[in-house]
Amino acid sequence: MIENDENINLEHSDSLTKVGGMYKEWFLDYASYVILERAVPDLMDGLKPVQRRILHSMFDLEDGRYNKVANVVGHTMQYHPHGDASISDAMVQVGQKELLIDMQGNWGNIYTGDKAAASRYIEARLSKFALEVVFNPKTTDWQLSYDGRKKEPIHLPVKFPLLLAQGAEGIAVGLSTKILPHNFNELINGSINYLKGRSFKLFPDFQTGGSIDIKNYNDGNRGGRVKVRALVEKYDKNIIIIKEIPYGTTTASLIESVIKASEKGKIKIKKIEDNTSSDVEVLVYLPSGSSMQKSIDSLYAFTQCEVSISPLCCIISDNKPQFIGVRDILKISTDNTKGLLKKELEIQLNELESQWHTISLERIFIENRIYRNIEEKITWDDVLSTIDNGLEPFKKNLKRNVTVDDIKKLTEIPIRKISKFDLNKVKEKLTNIEVNIEEVKNNLNHIVDYTIQYFTHLKKHYGKEKKRKTIIEEFDDLDKKKISIKNQKLYVNKEEGFIGTALKKNDFVSDCSDLDDVIVFTKDGIMKVVKVDSKVFIGKDILHVSLFNSESKQKIYNLIYTDGKKGTSFIKRFKVSGVIRDKDYNLTQGKELSKILYFSVNNINEADVVTVYLRKKPSLRKKDKFEQDFGDLIIKGRDSKGNIVTKDSIRKVSYKSRDSISKKDNEVKNIEVKDEQQVSNGSDETQTSLKF
């Protein structure tokens, strides 16, 4: 450890770099590398660098036969500066998409999550679709590989929205991407509609099938969310079968989630079997007497039979990460396809015109016996000038100028070709080339129609087996509280102010689940909604406890309270709907020593009639009791102050009757207020009486 900085040799301090500065620069370089070269696909061809290099290597090795994957991996390492494991894993992922690679052997199972066999045991070759759509060396831009020994494509000339067909997922430094796969034919239809100026929509489609709710898809942008469900059906009397699973899950992870839900009491099952092979088949055995529909709902609510996916379309464009929607990706891909097709046509036109030019020169050279003029020429320059002079009268019929290279090629024509020259065959060949040239020119002049024909061709030849596997539908909202099994019991200690499932020595409230909410009212006018737990403190002198659910939200609460110690008494009726959990709501006006004199719960068509007893005073000239009908009040919010009952001191409020048919579950509390002598003695207790 160096204690004195003066002892450090600073002779070469100008060349030193602080660690902090190194970290800042190097980490930025690393982050850029991960984003651009590893995790995020490029918009132009929809591929990550490792995928692009794998496909390029397979094209290098392409001879129509299968190659060992280990051989492809080794060949790819000439272009990819990482280990063989990362290459083979990436190749298996591309192969499992069943679009670009024709596979042979055990390539794993997307349903069960089983891994592929070792790369030395499995084989692959490019699919016919890949050979037609992905490669064209003439339109490919090249760059040097990482070690400068090879050339690799900057982008592959992909003439199809490959990124949206395969999907992509990756985690970089500071950002991630999750582009969901879409249906092959729907992508082509979308491209055709775009080229025709029509609107189109795109929604995900998964190899694993299932169903999807796309109302919040948001075009695949940030903030969107989709719900995906397994295909769950009744198989037998007490057996449920799962035929398709949600995207991103496997039968192993799904079964594990079902077992965990069973252990937590969310769903009751006897056993579960996985019979998946080429198709998904998971059997869930239920106990006898179980509700089939409720069990299916529980599978959706508490297991991976329903998952929520948040798409995030992050791509590399112009060497920078960008966030765009799937429709914009399709539009850019379609425009790119149109540009590549135009480039191919221009190259084809140039080749045809060069071919026509070469054949026409040969015809003129042989038909007019220009080769005889060079027989006695001694120097090379004399030979070239003689041929050029012989061609001069015919140059006006050619489509471009005659170059020195053209003349040199004429001198290389073998004698056999001259002796077997057939003018009719040459004319026929030139005619065919001219027809092809006109056709190419017509396609260039109508490039949009040509692109539409190209997409139609792809759909006809490769889209027959690409039907949608995922059903689009709108899911019903599942109320987990209703579905959950009431496997616990709720208790209350009213005096001490505790509620919970662990208070078994106290008063029983009701059966419940750990997803339920509980609404509680206390004597000092506090209302609170809390989640079911083993033990929760609410506040002393609890008046009412019940589960807070859709049924309780329809209840009407009746309340009479005093505003402060000796203040005016108020009466009100209110409902409780939206609340914030664990927040104290004051049902009085919040003054110190305010308290509830009467509290009850009714159905919507019921109203209590109570008798209000006033304290006897010498100055009190009016009656010392009167009736109060809650049915005369308007139902307001819980924060309302209420109507004045009396400004005199109330001794007690007693329940008298109910205006309509009462229910056994309604609870009525009559609280007798202590007399003045008890107050003067310093007693804080209040005598209460409960009436049901």
The CATH number linked to 294 is 3.30.1360.40
Q: What is the pLDDT of residue 8?
A: 40
Q: What is the pLDDT of residue 374?
A: 84
Are 258 and 158 found together in one domain? no
Are 558 and 684 found together in one domain? yes
Which class for 274: exposed (0-12), middle (13-18), buried (19 or more C-beta within 10 A)? middle
Chain segment 20-49, per-residue pLDDT in tens = 666 667 777 788 878 888 889 999 999 999
One-letter amino acid for residue 349 of the chain: L
Are 178 and 233 found together in one domain? no
Does 491 participate in catalysis according to the annotation? no
Which class for 578: exposed (0-12), middle (13-18), buried (19 or more C-beta within 10 A)? exposed
Domain-located, residue 657: yes
Domain final position from 309, 337, 354: 309
Domain-located, residue 637: yes
Are 303 and 334 found together in one domain? no
Domain-located, residue 52: yes
Q: What is the pLDDT of residue 605?
A: 83
Q: What is the pLDDT of residue 87?
A: 95
DSSP 447-470: HHHHHHHHHHHHHHHH-TT----S
Domain final position from 278, 309, 340: 309
Are 238 and 178 found together in one domain? no
Q: What is the pLDDT of residue 132?
A: 96
Question: What distance in Å separates the CA atoms of residue 627 and residue 539, rounded to the nearest whole number?
Answer: 31
Question: What distance in Å separates the CA atoms of residue 480 and residue 486, rounded to the nearest whole number?
Answer: 11
Are 490 and 408 found together in one domain? no
Domain-located, residue 174: yes
Are 335 and 261 found together in one domain? no
Q: What is the pLDDT of residue 622?
A: 65
Are 277 and 391 found together in one domain? no
Question: What distance in Å separates the CA atoms of residue 87 and residue 247, rounded to the nearest whole number?
Answer: 24
Sequence-distant (6+) residues with CB within 8 A of 569 are: 560, 561, 562, 563, 597, 644, 645, 646, 647, 650
Q: Are 567 and 591 in contact (CB under 8 A)?
A: yes
Report the 3 state secondary structure along 342-366: HHHHHHHHHHHHHHHHHHHHHHHHH
DSSP 88-119: HHHHHHHHHTTSSEEEES----TTT-PPPPPT
Domain count for the chain: 4
Domain-located, residue 97: yes
DSSP 475-541: PPPP-HHHHS---EEEEEETTTTEEESS-TTSEEEEEE-TT-EEEEEETTSEEEEEE--S-EE--SS
Mean pLDDT of the chain: 87
Chain segment 582-613, per-residue pLDDT in tens = 899 999 988 888 889 999 998 888 888 999 98
Are 262 and 302 found together in one domain? yes
Domain-located, residue 9: no
Are 243 and 185 found together in one domain? no
CATH for 435: 1.10.268.10
CATH for 72: 3.90.199.10
121, 371, 598, 613: the active-site residue? 121
Positions in the chain whose pLDDT score sits under 50: 1-13, 661-692
Domain-located, residue 468: no
Domain span including residue 399:
329-462
Domain-located, residue 665: yes
Are 301 and 446 found together in one domain? no
Distance in angstroms between the alpha carbons of the first and the last residue of the chain: 80
Are 294 and 365 found together in one domain? no
Question: What distance in Å separates the CA atoms of residue 171 and residue 257, rounded to the nearest whole number?
Answer: 25
